[in-house]
Amino acid sequence: MNNYLVIGLSEFGKSVAKTLYNNKAVVLAIDTDEDRIKQALHDEITDEAIILDATDEIALKNAVKDDFETAFVSVGDNFQASILITLHLKELGVKNIICKAVNHTQGKVLEKIGATQVVFPEESMGEKIAISVLRPTVIEYFKFSEDYFIYELKVPRVYIGKSLMELNLRHKYDINILAVKHSDGKMNVTPDPNLKLGEEDLLIILTRANVIGKITQ
């Protein structure tokens, strides 16, 4: 089982730690704030949480040792700290270093010094809120590649009662239907072309970003 290190218990850090822990991963959380550490232990979102200044290379080395392949650095509001921590983790041989950043300039610096992935939570949240307003039928989505996205969306009203063959979405819009999720929660990952879509069904599709507006209007 992989062990995960979460440095910084901001809202983003807490969310990461909780998700990992709830999925049976071993999580060590680190923060300089005693109250955050106590809250994390009280909420049971981590196996272990310690008060530590992760910019202190020796202290971090004593805590991490060789036990962690992946670390999440959630101190994006403190640019200098995120840089130092990333450098220390790189020196300690941590293979996957995922850093939170508040802007793309900070992100570029973190990537250059060793971050394997940089995330922009505020930007992503703002984008998702805007999409939810523009495309109310889109429930969730994420970037699959440079050009393609995977969307989970409610069946458009004009599609209700029609079969996948009738809709012919792949030919019309270059949309690949990955699955159909029914109202009972069951996921059909190999939907029959003759399957008629119900009002409560959800579609999981793969397509280009500029296509989604054509079927969610």
Q: What is the pLDDT of residue 208?
A: 86
Tell me which residue of 140, 89, 131, 134 sits closest to 110, measured CA to CA.
Answer: 89
Q: What is the pLDDT of residue 129?
A: 67
Q: What is the pLDDT of residue 127?
A: 67
Alpha helix positions (H), the chain: 11-22, 34-43, 57-64, 79-91, 104-113, 121-134, 164-167, 169-173, 212-215
Contacts of 5 (CB under 8 A, 6+ apart): 27, 28, 30, 64, 68, 70, 71, 72, 94
Residues in the chain with pLDDT values less than 50:
none
Six-digit token pair at 179? Answer: 């699955």
Q: What is the pLDDT of residue 17?
A: 92
Q: How many CB atoms neighbour CB 190 within 10 A?
A: 7
Cα dist from 140 to 14, 104, 106, 135, 202, whole Å: 21, 24, 27, 11, 11
Q: What is the pLDDT of residue 186?
A: 85
Q: What is the pLDDT of residue 110?
A: 94
pTM confidence score: 0.66
Q: What is the pLDDT of residue 91?
A: 92
Find tokens 């079927």 and name the residue.
215
Residue 166 DSSP SS3? helix
Q: What is the pLDDT of residue 1?
A: 54
| Cα dihedral across residues 112, 114, 116, 121: positive or negative | negative
> In sequence order, what are the beta bridge partners of 213?
none
CA distance 183 to 8: 39
